[in-house]
A = this chain, B = another copy of it.
Amino acid sequence: MKSAGIDELVARPSAWLGDGKRSGIVVSCRVRVARNVHGESFPCWMQEPDRIRLWKKLSASLAELPSMVDPLVFEMGELQWCDKQVLKERHLISVEECEKGAGSGVVLRGDESMSVMVNEEDHLRIQAMSPGSNLERLWKLVDRADTELERVVRYAFSEKLGYLTACPSNVGTGLRASVMLHLPGLGLLNETEPVTKGLVRIGFAVRGLLGEGSDASGNMFQISNQRTLGECEADIINRLSEAVAEIVGHEKNARARLIEQRREYVGDFVGRSVGILTNAHLLSSRELLDLLSGLRLGRDLGMIRNIATSTMYELILLTQPGHMLKITAKDLTPEKRDEMRAQLVRSRLAGMTAQV
């Protein structure tokens, strides 16, 4: 069992949560490429012995890459349910990877800024994450690791199509860049929908905080490119960066209008968030996200002081089921979890007030 490594992770904040460029609105960003190994079946057509053989080979190569500083290696077959949850909640592996067993796994940089899933949908998914708006730097990180790996592994590549992937939607660059945005101003003005619809129209995918299919809890939206084919990597990154800059403009404009025209309405949102967070005794994870949205907006607008960005995001992370299970070492009922979540939040935010 590899729980020791997981325990280390639980005890510290995630690399991608904290302050960064434009971090009042751009929470975090992520870049990943999908790669497959020449001459091997895609993971879901592989037999288990082949998958295990490939995992051993790739994980060993990954752990030795110069980019992979202080590597941590986890094989899914060796992890308990809650260990996988912790990795998923830290966005180091996908929901799908949690379902996998022997022969699938992940290799991370010790600081969690980069992770490579092996034998998820593709043989390799190389991803880098950071707080704030940082797409160009992340692309460089991923590109470097990709280049290092290509020296030891022959990728499945077509001169005509580019990198080959299990799902046609990833063929070509195999690149997916995404940005997590916090848009409470647009949310309070009911103006989110035109913005997200416009993004979809020009070829971006929009999702909630928890990925595909999830709604916009806590006014958080994840924007990513849809196309991987017919556009080079730099263009994909540029186009997304430009779209993000535009949305940031809309959100700033919404906040300015709110403060000028409806200060009490914003103050009510911020004040109630503080009041409930510091006094509730039962909190669902969904409600916590919504309340932390108020806290974050309050801090951005100068209504709340003395609260670090990292504290807010740590609360999101530490109060998710997997992390709570690891911290308390108890299998909690949902109501008991709501109680512990509220207790943790009260203790972290004790004495906080809002000055509207």
Binding site for B on A (CB under 8 A): 264-265, 267-268, 271-272, 274-282, 339, 342, 353-354, 356
Contact = CB atoms under 8 A, between A and B. Distances in A.
Contact of A276 (B264, B275, B339): B275
Contact of A282 (B265, B276, B279, B282): B265
Contact of A267 (B264, B268, B281, B356): B281
Decide if the interface of chain A is mainly helix, strand, loop or mixed.
helix
Nearest to A336: B264
A277 B272 CA distance: 8
A274 B277 CA distance: 11
Give the copy number. Answer: 2
Contacts of A268: 280-282, 342
12 contacts: A264-B281, A264-B342, A265-B281, A272-B276, A272-B279, A274-B279, A275-B278, A275-B279, A275-B280, A276-B276, A279-B353, A279-B354
A304 to B, nearest CB: 11
A339 B356 CA distance: 12
A281 B265 CA distance: 7
A280 B342 CA distance: 19
Contacts of A281: 264-265, 267-268, 271, 356
A211 B268 CA distance: 30
Contact of A271 (B264, B265, B279): B279
A324 to B, nearest CB: 16
Contacts of A271: 279-281
Contacts of A274: 275, 279
The CB with the most chain B CB atoms within 10 A, among A265, A279, A280, A342, is that of A279
Nearest to A262: B335
Nearest to A271: B279
Nearest to A267: B281
9 nearest A-B pairs in the assembled complex, by CB-CB distance: A275-B279, A275-B275, A271-B279, A268-B281, A267-B281, A268-B282, A264-B281, A264-B339, A275-B276
A281 B339 CA distance: 27
